[in-house]
Structure formats: C-alpha cells, structure tokens
Structure 1
C-alpha cells in the first residue's frame, strides 16, 4: 500500500485504518506503528483521520435484516445489467476518496423519495469491495454501521477531573482538559487505551495482557504499575513519570529506541525535534494533582496563571507586570477554592483580583 500520497480522506476510507481505530488488536497496532514510523510526514493527516473516524463512530445505527433484504431485492430487480457485466478481475467501483465524500454530502441534501436508490448504490459498493461506512435511515442522516466492540470515550473539560474504573480492575485518574478512549471490555491479549491530555494510571497485574497507552507519538506499555502520562496536544511535549513498577516507552516516530523506566524516573519527549530525556522527578510536582493538590515550584507568572486556568476552567486577564517584579513562586494548595488560592498568591505577589463567573481580572498594586 502506497501511503505516501494518502490524504486525510484516504485514511478515513481505508478499511484497515478504520479497523485499527475502531477495533484495534496487536497486529494492527504494530502495523500502523510501522506506517507512522515510515511516514512521519503523514502524522497530521493520520490525526485528522482519527478524529473524523471517531466522530462518525459516535452515531449508533444498524440496518435491520428486513431492510437489508429490501435493499438486495431492489438491486436484483433494478441494477443496470450493462454495469454488472464486467470482467471477473474488475469488480471494484472506481471511486476515489474525494468523490465518495462528495457523494455522501450530496445525498444528505436529498429527500426521502431517493432513499432506495442511494441504499442500493451503497450496497453495491460494499459488494464490490468499496466499504462505505455511511448508512442512511429514512431521515437522511448518515450514520456508521454498528461495531461489535463498544468504545468508551471519557472527556473532561477544563476545570473538571474524574476517576475511571476499568473492566480489568485498573484505575485511571483523568486530569482537566483530557480525553481517554478505550474498549468497554478489553481483548484477550492486550489492554489498549488512547490519551489526549493527562492521566494517572494504576494498572492491575495481568501478565497475559499488556497495558498499552497511546499518547501522541509514544506508546507506553506496562503489566502492573502506577505511572503518569501528560500529553496535551497543544504543548507538543509528552512527559511520562513512573511511580512504581516498570514501563517500556516506544516512540512511534523517528529513530529513537524503546526506553524502560524504573520508579522515580520520568521521560520527556519533544515531538517537534524527536528528542527524549530521562531524569528523576519530584512526585509532588508531577503527580500530586490526582490528590487535589496544586503545586508550584519556582513558577513564573505565566506558569501560575496557566495552571490555574486549566485547573478551575477560567480565563485570566492580567495587566502588565511591573518591570522590577519577577516571579519565583513556590506553594501548594489542597482542595482550595479559586478565591482562597488567589487571595494567598495575591498577598505574596502583591496584586488584587476580581472574579466574574469564568473571567478573572488581575491588577498589580
């Protein structure tokens, strides 16, 4: 398969790609990890295709057996025999990705009286090997064919954290502004999760089913352990810190080899430059968030207000910092309200604040 010329639409329409996103297994994960490694210039298209596939898959719809029989009967009675009379080795409808997507958008504007014709076209495309994952109900809404395995998607807005208990007994604390995707029931040979944002994983031991977390351009594998993954897409930096047990981290792009972490170590990976660095870490600074603790260590103004924005889901408007004023702020707050936190910081850094719903005004004295 020549993925070099693939567009986002080509990936979306690729059956093997959709199987990987909607029903991943070990073979598919290894296959697409190699594709990403061999075609790093396609990372952007692949990410967009993943989002499109997941958004389409959010719909739940399945054609009934009676409706399927009706479609096939319509095909048998109304198909143009000249089109059916093709050579044995040429039974694929010559549709490219752009025409398929355009065709689908065009159909959404049609009225109900055209439904059977389009359903027949869809069924013929499937018969010919072109799998279009759009089906049409009688209200002309495009929805995907239901899958056997159900994906669970947990998404936290800024200002909200949550704890998730997985079917294998593992526990995930999902941080603010983060999304976690996983199968409701893991497969028999592995446990796969996809993370955008930050989460702390406490993994139940299962030597027969590795626990694998995909985050950006990294895959972290564990058997029974506790570790933190921070991979917000807008930051372009992935940080993985190990509290206990052992994990192996595999870069999916570039020439870096897998890295094994021991407790007390963390790995920082720069996605833009494909550089990684392993260092020790202060657990209060990296993983205290899961216990409701906001921790600052020699933080500057931007770092403080950025963390508070995400933690409480607010927006700060800050006037100019006085020229002779430099921040190097260290403190921790446990389950405190925004007002109490700002009152304490404001006393130390000499500013006043005004909270109006989700907007906070900071004025230096």
Structure 2
C-alpha cells in the first residue's frame, strides 16, 4: 500500500499521472491515518531534497501532519515545496495553521509568495490563516505572502473565487487582480477575473467593498450588497447593476448557468468546468443565444442537452471532444 502511494505521489509531482491514477490517489489518501500520510510524504520528500522550489500553501498540510516543532516544520516546508500540487487532493484542502517562526534561516526560507493552482475540471476550498474562507473555481490561481495576516492581508487572484472574509478592522483585506483591486473589512463576494475574458466581474453578497481600477482612470466605487460591478478591459470603463448573486455564485453549488450566452462562450466554460479539450469544426457557430442551467457530473450530459438547441454532432477521441457544426 505504502509503495503504491509513493509511486502515485511521484507521478503526481512529475505531472505524468493519468486521470484514473489521480482518482486512485485521492481515494487512497482518504484511507490513510495521519502517521501513514506523514510517512508517505516524507519518503517522497527525501527523493527531492536537493530540488526545492518555492513553498506553496503549506498551511493546508502542516496542521494535518500535527506539525509542532521547528525542525519538523522545516522538514514539511521543504517537502511541500516539491509536492505543492498535492493540495489539490480534497482531503488536504481547507486546513489552516498559524506558524511560529523562531530563527532567521527559516524566516528567509518562507519569505516568499505561496501559490495555489486549481486545474481545469477541479475546484478547491481553502481557509487562510486569518480564518477567511476562499472557494476557488476551475483554472484559477491564488497567491499570498507567507506572512499573510501578520501585518497585512493581501491575496493575488487569477480566475474566479468566492470569499467569506474574516473581519479585522485593523487589517483590511485586499484582493489584487490584473485589472482591479478590491478592499474589504469583512464580507462575502465573488470575483471573476479570467485572463481570456473581456470583463472582470465583482459581485457583492454581504458587507461592503471598495473597488479600484488599476489604470486609475476612475474614482473608487463603494459597492453595496446585491450589486455587481463589471470592468471592461477594452474601454476601461465600469458599469454596475443589481443582482441577487444567485447566478454569479452558481458554480459554488456545482451548477453551470448561462444567460443569453453565445455558443463559443459556452464551450469555453465547459473546457474549464470539465477539464477537457474541445475542438470545433464545420460551419460558422450558431448565433443563437442560450439561457439555461446544468448540474451534470459529466460533460456528455451537457452536450446532449445542448444538441436540443444547437445543431451539431460530437465524438470523443484520445480524451479530446470533437464537435462538428451542421
């Protein structure tokens, strides 16, 4: 069992694990005790001791391993630097730890950005050291300084996230994206900031936030609950509208919702949601707009429903879906 887990962890680190093996790894981890998991991770760490890279979100794993002493913490930090992707395993998500650093060497080691990468077809939930809960959608990356919460609370986001920010009047919480910055004391809101989209959307569910554009062409906006602010990357303009937030946060409930969406936009969301490659051939895309919602576990169920609205056929070959428009 131990040898099998080590083999899968090695494949995961080297990014040559198959989808089926990834599922086996996730299931296997849930069956391990704390000591067994610690031993498996330590065994793999030894093989990468001289290949350390930037540590990533170690707080999710450190508490799981009941790290208390300085020496064992350093051991775990070094290991996590090599196997950061393991945080994608649901069992290890959502665990927080407060670090107690006692020497300059260790301070220098962790004095850098920690990053979490969620792949297409995956979602994750984490708890930051201050108690803030962050839900990350597919194809999303989040980073923050290793001393987060000590002097300030800043995170850097690419993709989509829903946040429930812990209140701390003395340390405002800042979300940085490529185009806008959001400042909040304590609230619930959703941010959609994918690089391949023309707009950045911020939806406030509860509390209040201040939104500022990076180009400084407009004054900051103080958002109110049930308000959605959209920043256009093309014309650098802000617009706002009222919303219940139900549509914008549907992804956190496992729903895929479209409102007057173009077929090309639907396909792009399916790629992220299910983590599959989709290629379209044939005539020009149907210009009809689609409104509807899905809660399908597999992409084939969604495609069959879309065939009732759009004229196309599809096949799957070598893990790639080929769509041919009629």
What are the within-5 Å matches in structure 2 for residues 71-110 of structure 1? none
Matched residues in 2 for 1:153 and 1:217: separation?
19
Residue from 282, 285, 288 that aligns with 1:327: 288
Out of 160, 171, 188, the residue aligned to residue 198 of structure 1 is 160
TM-fit CA distance, 1:357: 4.1
TM-score of the aligned structures, taking structure 2 as reference length: 0.63
* Match status 1:355 vs 2:316: yes
Displacement of 1:196 in angstroms is: 1.1
d(CA) in 2 for partners of 1:271, 1:318: 27
| 1:71-106 deviations in Å (ceiling 9; x for gaps) | xxxxxxxxxxxxxxxxxxxxxxxxxxxxxxxxxxxx
**2-structure distance, mates of 1:328, 1:277:** 22
Partner of 1:186: 148
How far does residue 363 in structure 1 lie from its aligned partner after superposition?
3.0
CA distance in structure 2 between the aligned counterparts of 1:150 and 1:278, rounded to whole angstroms: 36
Residues 147-186 of structure 1 aligned to structure 2 (within 5 Å)? 147-186=109-148
SS in 2 for 1:332: strand
* Cα distance change, pair 358–250 in 1 and its aligned pair in 2 (3 A): same
**2-side partners of 1:252 and 1:298: how far apart?**
29
Q: How many residues align?
A: 224
Structure 2, unaligned runs of 5 or more: 1-51, 56-106
Q: Is the 8 A contact 1:189 1:210 kept in 2?
A: no
Question: What is the CA–CA distance in structure 2 between the aligned matches of 1:222 and 1:152, rounded to whole Å?
Answer: 21
| 1:158-194 Cα deviation digits (max 9, x unpaired) | 2221111111111111111111001344234421100
Partners of 1:257 and 1:199 in 2: how far apart?
A: 24
Tell me whether 1:263 sits opposite 2:219 in the alignment: no
Report how far residue 239 of structure 1 moved.
1.3
Structure 1 unaligned spans of 5+: 1-56, 61-144
Question: Which one has a bigger Cα radius of gyration?
Answer: 1
Q: 2:301 aligns with which of 318, 334, 340?
A: 340
Deviation string 1:100-147 (CA, Å, 9 cap, x unpaired) is xxxxxxxxxxxxxxxxxxxxxxxxxxxxxxxxxxxxxxxxxxxxx944
Q: 2:179 aligns with which of 217, 233, 247?
A: 217
Q: Distance in 2 between matches of 1:322 and 1:213?
A: 39
Is 300-309 or 275-284 further displaced after alignment? Answer: 275-284
SS at match of 2:121: coil
Q: d(CA) in 2 for partners of 1:296 and 1:231?
A: 17
Q: TM-score, normalised by structure 1?
A: 0.56
Alpha-carbon distance in structure 1 between the residues aligned to 2:253 and 2:147 = 27
Shift in Å at residue 228 of structure 1?
A: 0.9
1:208 equivalent among 170, 175, 184: 170
